[in-house]
């Protein structure tokens, strides 16, 4: 477990290094689209963000080159020479042409940049969903993500599944909300960050043109475990997405061979915080567990979803994610065995 946490830590760290230095770092898993990479957008909004950022970078580069060249020219041309008479050169004040030029040109540049950025922001956040759009709502919680598909009757957590845009350009529209403090949804290859704000509904959309798993983070400090509020956005082919959705829509598997174990779960406080659809467990405070085992990770992307990690998590979530809003339940070994045996049936 320690080793896996190290790995996650390394991943987060290399993401940061990557974002600042733009040098490629290699990912551990083959289907991972490298590390969160702002230079490889795979959606229309991502590409628009990228293009407008590049435009301002190039404008700034041009300004830098012009200013630096003039500066270097002046330094060399007017440097102190051997035959210097030590007199000050004639001083020039208030040239109207020069003053006008260095006021108007920057104003024009800023104006163009504002217009470009405003257009991009409007096209991402004020767009009207087309009839074929898939709609999902993402609710930020300290420190995990709730994901609802109201039209499909699906509730899941931490891993956002969306279909590839494909020939019909089907986009996914995300409504971003928060149940507590301000969070920010950011999967760099999908586009820019957008905040999840209590009592507000922010809108963004994406039309991924590649399948695979894309990594992201919460991008607005939201408390002690902010850095472990990771996102996995999984783009599936249309057929695979349909299959995934059909599985998620079903109520929880009811496996008679773990009836006793299920009763242990239902007799504990778990049910006040977690829902397992089709059973009396209907808590809404923590992640929905109906199809827990269909997810790759636990605790918002912190650790791989394996039997051992699941047991370690239940034994003491605070050991893995200090400050997490799931308490250490002081469970006995037989209780832990029963809970794990039951939970792993929730495919």
Query: By C-beta, is 146 or 164 nearer to ligand HEC?
Result: 146
Q: Least distance in Å: CB of 342 to ligand HEC?
A: 8
Query: By C-beta, is 252 or 339 nearer to ligand HEC?
Result: 339
Q: Least distance in Å: CB of 163 to ligand HEC?
A: 22
Q: Does 299 bind ligand HEC (CB under 6 A)?
A: yes
Q: Least distance in Å: CB of 1 to ligand HEC?
A: 14
Query: By C-beta, is 204 or 222 nearer to Cu ion?
Result: 222
Determine how β-strand 134-141 pairs with β-strand 154-157: unpaired
CA atoms within 13 A on the CB side of 206: 31
Q: Does 178 bind ligand HEC (CB under 6 A)?
A: no
Q: Residues touching Cu ion: how many (CB under 5 A)?
A: 5
Q: Does 153 bind ligand HEC (CB under 6 A)?
A: no
Query: By C-beta, is 251 or 322 nearer to ligand HEC?
Result: 322
Q: Which does 299 bind (CB under 5 to 8 A by kind): Cu ion, ligand HEC, none?
A: ligand HEC
Give the residue, chosen from 237, 285, 319, 328, that forms a contact with ligand HEC under the rule CB under 6 A.
Answer: 285
Question: Are 218 and 229 a contacting pair, CB within 8 Å?
Answer: yes
Q: Is the dihedral of CA 198, 289, 291, 190 positive or negative?
A: positive
- The H or E element spanning position 55 is helix 44-77
Give the residue, chosen from 144, 205, 241, 244, that forms a contact with ligand HEC under the rule CB under 6 A.
Answer: 144
Q: Which pair of structure tokens corresponds to residue 346? A: 């929730």
Q: Does 277 bind ligand HEC (CB under 6 A)?
A: no
Phi, psi of 272 (to 5 degrees): -80, -20
Q: Least distance in Å: CB of 321 to ligand HEC?
A: 5
Q: Which pair of structure tokens corresponds to residue 35? A: 């590390």
Burial code (b: 16+ CB inside 10 Å, e: under 16) for 219-239 equals bbebeebbebbbbbbbbbeee
Give the residue, chosen from 43, 52, 217, 324, that forms a contact with ligand HEC under the rule CB under 6 A.
Answer: 324
Give the residue, chosen from 174, 326, 341, 344, that forms a contact with ligand HEC under the rule CB under 6 A.
Answer: 326
Query: By C-beta, is 25 or 329 nearer to ligand HEC?
Result: 329
Q: Which residues contact 240 (CB under 8 A, 6 or more apart)?
A: 211
Q: Does 127 bind ligand HEC (CB under 6 A)?
A: no
Give the residue, chosen from 66, 107, 118, 269, that forms a contact with ligand HEC under the rule CB under 6 A.
Answer: 269
Q: Does 138 bind ligand HEC (CB under 6 A)?
A: no
CA atoms within 13 A on the CB side of 40: 14
Query: By C-beta, is 125 or 179 nearer to ligand HEC?
Result: 179
In whole angstroms, what is the distance from residue 253 CA to residue 248 CA?
11
Which of 88-91's residues contact partners 24+ apart within 8 Å by CB, and which partners?
A: none
In whole angstroms, what is the distance from residue 134 CA to residue 209 CA?
15
Residues that bind Cu ion in the complex, under the rule CB under 5 A = 183, 218, 222, 226, 229
């Amino acid at each position: 477990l320690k080793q896996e946490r190290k790995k996650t830590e390394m991943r987060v760290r290399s993401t940061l290094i990557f974002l600042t230095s733009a040098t490629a770092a290699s990912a551990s898993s083959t289907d991972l689209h490298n590390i969160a990479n702002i230079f490889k957008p795979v959606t229309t909004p991502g590409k628009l963000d990228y293009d407008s950022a590049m435009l301002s970078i190039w404008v700034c580069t041009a300004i830098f080159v012009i200013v630096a060249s003039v500066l270097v020219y002046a330094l060399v041309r007017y440097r102190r020479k051997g035959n210097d008479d030590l007199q000050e050169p004639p001083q020039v004040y208030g040239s109207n042409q020069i003053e006008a030029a260095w006021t108007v040109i920057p104003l024009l540049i800023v104006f163009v940049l504002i217009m470009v950025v405003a257009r991009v922001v409007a096209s991402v956040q004020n767009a009207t969903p087309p009839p074929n759009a898939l709609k999902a709502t993402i609710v930020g919680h300290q420190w995990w993500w709730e994901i609802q598909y109201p039209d499909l009757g699906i509730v899941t957590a931490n891993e956002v599944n969306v279909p590839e845009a494909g020939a019909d350009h089907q986009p996914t529209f995300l409504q971003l909300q928060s149940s507590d403090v301000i969070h920010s949804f950011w999967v760099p290859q999908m586009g820019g960050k957008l905040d999840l704000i209590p009592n507000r509904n922010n809108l963004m959309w994406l039309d991924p043109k590649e399948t695979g798993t894309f990594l992201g983070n919460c991008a607005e400090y939201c408390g002690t475990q902010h850095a472990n509020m990771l996102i996995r956005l999984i783009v599936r082919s249309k057929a695979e997405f349909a299959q995934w959705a059909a599985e998620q829509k079903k109520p929880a598997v009811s496996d008679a061979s773990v009836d006793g174990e299920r009763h242990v779960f239902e007799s504990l406080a778990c049910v006040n915080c977690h829902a397992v659809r089709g059973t009396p467990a209907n808590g809404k405070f923590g992640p929905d567990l109906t199809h827990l085992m269909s997810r790759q990770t636990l605790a918002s992307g912190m650790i791989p979803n394996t039997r051992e990690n699941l047991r370690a998590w239940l034994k003491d979530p605070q050991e893995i994610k200090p400050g997490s809003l799931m308490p250490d339940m002081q469970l006995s070994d037989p209780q832990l065995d029963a809970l794990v045996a039951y939970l792993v049936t929730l495919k």
